[in-house]
């Protein structure tokens, strides 16, 4: 592949996409969140990330409202103007378990809720290193159990670290005999791959996220290496899990985690749709309004959410 585009990113090495929109997105990201961000203090990482998220903020869809509440932990509830189903979407944000908040994914959550005509709740789970595993999973699972106890049907959605949490919650709810989780939507999830083969090797120096970054986030989380809720690819049994939509970026060391997870779900008889975005990098959700490929991927994602939630007109 022609990697000439990487000349515009002297601090980056490795394979690069060619789409103009995603290259512009990467330039903006580098200006706010440097490639070596994980070497900085946690406080600095969070400040950079908050500034980056603010740069890509968007006006909310007309008629959509939101409200902050406490449900074991802080949550934000989104209600689109036209609600077409009683199912609720439970969104778990990305950020390597270290950065991210209700505000970091505010516009993304609002647009998914509006497109699908479905109420959405985003969870402000505790972050590492102040709170190590299983605090993040426990926070999200407490919220999920409360919603299921109120007889809500739930579609789990998560990007990156949030995708890991969503897959882990699907396992926990199945293993505890809880009913009501009717779908899982995983967006470039990290699911516990081996870090030394496949996309972890081929895309080790990809823009946006490197394999070294993934190793850093795993180390700071301190989850047991043999725990399938923390590393869902280690699950011994994939049967009985909810139908899934899994989308990954080609230029991402996490790519094969999503692919392998989809394959194992399918082999266990679980309905799954897998989509690889050929020109995308990790975190492409933020590029949905400036990249044609990201826009198409986001539209496909929202259609999948609508199908799983039963809200398609």
Q: What is the DSSP letter of 100?
A: -
Task: Map tokens 């439970």 to a residue.
Answer: 90
Of 199, 213, 282, 306, the active-site residue reads: 282
Residue 219 CA to residue 157 CA, distance in Å, equals 24
Report whether 183 contacts 155 (CB < 8 A): yes
- Other CB atoms within a 10 A radius of the CB of residue 179 amount to 10
Structure tokens at 28: 């903006």
Report whether 243 contacts 308 (CB < 8 A): yes
Distances 234 to 76, 229, 257, 311 between C-alpha atoms, Å: 31, 8, 11, 33
Q: Look up 36 and say whether it is catalytic.
A: no
Of 124, 139, 159, 252, the active-site residue reads: 252
Report whether 135 contacts 129 (CB < 8 A): no
Q: Look up 6 and say whether it is catalytic.
A: no
Residue 101 CA to residue 77 CA, distance in Å, equals 14
Listing DSSP states for 169-213 in one string gives HHHHHHHTT---EEEEEEES------SSSTHHHHTTT-TT--HHH
Question: Which conformational region is residue 249 in: left (phi greater than 0), alpha (psi within -120 to 50 degrees), or beta?
Answer: beta
Of 160, 173, 199, 306, the active-site residue reads: 160
Q: Look up 282 and say whether it is catalytic.
A: yes
Structure tokens at 309: 């939630």
Q: Which residues pair with 183 in a beta bridge?
A: 155
Distance in angstroms between the alpha carbons of the first and the last residue of the chain: 42
Closest to 159 (Cα-Cα) out of 99, 233, 248: 248
Active-site positions read: 160, 252, 282
């Amino acid at each position: 592949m022609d990697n000439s585009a990487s000349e515009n990113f002297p601090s980056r090495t490795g394979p690069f996409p060619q789409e103009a929109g995603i290259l512009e997105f990467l330039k903006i990201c580098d200006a706010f969140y440097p490639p070596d961000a994980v070497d900085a203090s946690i406080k600095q990482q969070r400040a950079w990330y908050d500034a980056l998220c603010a740069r890509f903020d968007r006006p909310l869809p007309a008629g959509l409202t939101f409200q902050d509440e406490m449900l074991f932990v802080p949550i934000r509830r989104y209600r689109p103007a036209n609600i077409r189903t009683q199912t609720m979407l439970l969104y778990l944000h990305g950020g390597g378990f270290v950065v991210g908040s209700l505000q970091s994914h505010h516009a993304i959550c609002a647009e998914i809720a509006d497109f699908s005509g479905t109420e959405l709740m985003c969870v402000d789970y505790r972050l590492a290193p102040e709170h190590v595993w299983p605090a993040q999973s426990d926070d999200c699972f407490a919220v999920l159990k409360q919603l299921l106890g109120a007889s809500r049907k739930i579609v789990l959605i998560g990007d990156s670290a949030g995708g890991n949490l969503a897959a882990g919650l699907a396992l926990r709810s199945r293993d505890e005999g809880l009913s009501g989780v009717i779908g899982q939507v995983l967006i470039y999830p990290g699911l516990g791959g081996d870090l030394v083969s496949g996309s972890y090797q081929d895309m080790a120096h990809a823009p946006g996220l490197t394999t070294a970054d993934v190793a850093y986030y795993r180390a700071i989380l301190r989850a047991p290496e043999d725990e399938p809720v923390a590393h869902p690819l280690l699950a011994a049994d994939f049967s009985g899990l909810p139908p899934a939509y899994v989308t990954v970026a080609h230029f991402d060391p996490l790519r094969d985690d999503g692919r392998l997870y989809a394959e194992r779900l399918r082999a266990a008889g679980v309905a799954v749709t897998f989509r690889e975005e050929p020109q995308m990098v990790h975190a492409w959700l933020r590029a949905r309004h400036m990249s044609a490929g990201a826009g198409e991927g986001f539209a496909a994602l929202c259609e999948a959410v609508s199908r799983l939630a039963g809200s398609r007109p």
